Structure 1
Amino acid sequence: MEAKMHMKEWLVAQIESGHYEGLSWEDESKSMFRIPWKHAAKKDYKQTEDAALFKAWAVYKGKYREGRDRADPTMWKTRLRCALNKSTDFQEVPERNQLDITEPYKVYHIQHDNGSARPAESPQTKDQAVQALSSPEDPAVLVQQLRCQKESFHRSKEEVKPLPDVTMREHMYCELTGNKTLNQSPSTIPFLSPTLTISDFRMQVTLLYQGQRVMKVTTRSPEGCFILQGRVPLGNERIYGPCSAQQLSFPSPGSVALPPWMAEAMNRLLCHLERGVLLWVAPDGVFIKRFCQGRVYWSGPRAQHADQPNKLEREKTFKLLDVPTFLSELQSCLQGKGSTPSYEIELCFGEEYPDPNVPKNRKLIMAKVVPLFAVELLQRFNLGEIEEKRPDLTPNTEGEKM
């Protein structure tokens, strides 16, 4: 694994990127720089912009994982401030600080070993560049952050060895039911163990126009998939690397026999679904982030309402399914204490959903998302209406268009 950049290299990369408003060189020789320092109590404080640099440092250091950890802008700022104070490469210049203006900032002097303030132009690794220039509001960069998180997860997972002389099916049964074996008395085996950590990130995604299936795809990228109109607006591929999240573009309304007025309404809706949504499966759940202007509503295991609309806010990460909850419900079901856990997720684009007054087969555009780890767990124990809901588990890279 390539070593990460030191803080000095990382921070210089941020300044040179021009990505963060207010972060800039203070002098032509590039020996000092300004860093924005707005207090969170200010009325015009905006977390997205004013905490962006502090958040990027937390992501780079592995202290914050998008979609998994609680956002804490105050802690992000504290971490960066402490790192600057502890580092011998930086020295605050208090006489140049401007903390009482509309856009307050601090000034730091930066030391370079060779006496030059200009950063060395040695090539960066892809991971270094991605983290150095990360922006959580950019779909392409969010994909890269997910990739880094999952690579880290897989590295840690490789250190876990399965229990000897126990088949996967029997061990999972023991874990979920509390029995020593299929025919023995209960034991105290802990429920959540490393062997039950979710590592299957595939999803079956079905797109429907007015209840008619127009696409059915089994996604295979660990970075998840975009559902959108057009293509993902990517940044510099040399910096961010190629976008490996699978891209599912909405088919033309002409692929379904619709009345002219309905096709026209659908075309108008599709115009607002550029950038779309990004869906992904992580070890602790299924997540989504909406980037498009068009509204998106959903239903699923963690939905707040079952009989009224659940809206996805733009640029905000939502957890649609919680893996520990699903496994706990599966354990209760196998012990005869509960029903089969739910796992299917429905998205409705441009129209409120769930809507008790309008059946879902009359909604213009919907998507059904099925995480395959859940399906396979239920199949192992012969639970649920498997034949009706069974996805096509054969390789499917291009997807099926109807």
Structure 2
Amino acid sequence: MQSPPKPQFASWLIEQVETGQYAGPSHVGQNKFRVPWKHNSRKDCNDEDNKIFRAWAVASGKINEFPNDKARWKTNFRCALNNLSERFKMIKDNSKNNDDPHKIYEIINTEQNHPSLPTQDPQDDLDMIPDIYSSPTEYFPSGNEINLLNNLMALDLDNHGTEEQLWAGEYNQPNPALLGSYPAAAENHPQVLPHQPSYYEVTPLSIYDLEISIHYRKREMLKMTVNISSTTRLQLHYQHEAPELNADRLCFPSTDDLLDHKQIEYTNRILSNIQRGLLLEVRNTGIYAVRQDRCHVFASTSDPSVAHPDPRKLPQNSMVELLSFENYVHELRQFKENNSGSPEYTINMCFGEKFPDGKPLEKKLIIVKVVPLICRHF
């Protein structure tokens, strides 16, 4: 007997809130609802607190994979919710409230508008079969970061007019009275920065601000700005959170909204091996990563369309440098002196396939792009 089709999470969740079938999820205002968020380690956590998470595990067909694992139910629900940032926005995180732990979300779109998958060439089907490899603080720049900012600004000032003289001089630590703090990281999600100001606003630049986007072939599945401070890290995982890492967490999107069956099959094969995934860290010297699970990851900052004779595969359980800030400043200086081309700073990471191998980036099943936003200013 064929199992019923999996429902769309957004429609399913809104229906649960409106019908009041479960005691936890409920309306708290126009287009706003709350979801109970009691940690499973609490002694008073019972089946009632996990009903909505179990219900989605049943509806999504995941209940057969982990029939009694309450933590996995919650992770499955959380990933589905986070991957629909165009539909739901968390406006209050009360998950640490001892008396009534919950989160409040706002429905920011009343209709779901998912772009369809671009048409692909017949040849793409041949290329689809890959070699799948498995095996909360206030911001004040540190001394080393200030040195880096000064080096970058010194290079940049030569090419700008008087309108930008507000950047002249040394970069000093901002006045705490003038500098707001970023909100504390949510339990399951990296810090999302407020509206990015224009270049001309006097706002402290930070080496810890990254733009992260996840692409499944031609389709951008997720794009967000995060702040990975010197005291935090970011775990890119697939339904396998690791609380012991003491890191913010970002879950790879599911393939539910993809249309091509072969793409879904091969992408899911890679996702099943990502699991604990990748740990990202930003230091004063650069951006670093640790591959934590079987899925092989290849990283490059060079032209992705040009094959590399020896693609750089990240070793498992070893911290490696993805981008050196010192090298970037050196290459930027060379560029300003017309001695070389513009330095590359976008980190492309390909999961499960060799890269770069001369194939277009859009043909790769899973690509993660990491962009240090400070480099865009220079």
Q: Which has the higher helix share?
A: 1
Instruction: Provide the TM-score with structure 2 as the length reference.
Output: 0.46
Instruction: Provide the TM-score with structure 1 as the length reference.
Output: 0.43
